[in-house]
Amino acid sequence: MTKNLLTFCCSTPLVSLNQMLYLLIALWIYAAVPEKMLMVYAMIFGAHLLPYGWLYQSKSYYFFSLVIPITVL
């Protein structure tokens, strides 16, 4: 139980750290070009799957982290 808790506590900040950068980009787009907000938000959603591909060694996460932003663009 302790190892599981420590794994969760140590990996969550590393995997979620990229979300802070994405949030700043979304706020910048919202202020600068509001009509593109939905597109950027969808691209951010797709791109945030990339670290989960690495964390879970899942090809589906890698695949969708590339396909979603490209499709939305």
Write out the two tokens for 65: 């982290």
**Higher model confidence: residue 6 or residue 71?**
71
The alpha carbon dihedral of 23, 21, 69, 10 has a sign of negative
The pLDDT tens digits of the residues spanning 47-68 come to: 888 888 988 999 999 999 999 9
Nearest of 48, 73, 43 to residue 61 by alpha carbon = 48
Q: What is the pTM of this model?
A: 0.68
Taking residues 6-34, what's their average pLDDT? 81
